[in-house]
Chains A and B, each alone.
Chain A
């Protein structure tokens, strides 16, 4: 997974499918009512749907983790780059200030 990949929740869903918030309920072991009331009997087809959904969730979770892992170093990388850039700029500003102070002081000494 390239570390330039930016995180996007949609990327955690296999291509061709849209993210379905109902899966979150399964993942969190909360109520799941895909097709009916909470206590409705679940026929074989519905059960298979739930199992498939669970597999999808696991696949999505794994993919999301993979994306998250690749995302974290990028955040760090950007932050580090910014720090180096600021350091280069800071050194230039400070050095220019030292130089100008030296010239000003020198002028004063010559004048005095």
Chain B
């Protein structure tokens, strides 16, 4: 913890706000932070893989997986779109498909966990009430 952080804690009694406050934030910055949490929700990422999972906007979830196998580079981007009639899954070169069954259950659990963790760990808000979390004195 740096000098200013220590000073801030001494004065306010609270942990200093994260680096979120130090420079101008962008939408992309926040998504990048969220995706670090999202990537952990489906278990360990295999060696050599890169995974991203994040909420793009208020009706879209993105899963991105990238890896190299036998010298060949692979990447899959999956988009889950929330529609009034169901969740549609879109992958490169594939037709739209309605998500159901186990995949839907897993997606629902993952997005719920994502929401709860992102609310607490990035935005310091209570996931249910949406109110800022009170910092213990």
Instruction: Flag if A92 contacts B119 (CB, 8 Å).
Output: no
B34 CB–A CB distance under 8 Å:
yes
* CB contact under 8 A between A95 and B114, given known A84-B104, A88-B87: yes
Q: List 19 A-B contacts (CB under 8 A).
A: A91-B55, A91-B112, A91-B115, A92-B82, A94-B119, A95-B55, A95-B58, A95-B114, A95-B115, A95-B118, A97-B58, A98-B118, A98-B119, A98-B123, A99-B31, A99-B123, A102-B20, A102-B30, A103-B30
Q: Mark A74-108, 1 if CB is under 8 A from B, else 0.
A: 00000001011101110111111111011100100
A109 CB–B CB distance under 8 Å:
yes
Chain A: interface residue total (CB-CB under 8 A):
22
Could you tell me the dominant secondary structure of chain A's interface residues? Answer: helix
Instruction: Flag if B25 contacts A92 (CB, 8 Å).
Output: no
Q: How far is the CB of B58 from chain A (nearest CB, A)?
A: 4
A1 CB–B CB distance under 8 Å:
no
Contacts of A40 in B (CB 8 A): none
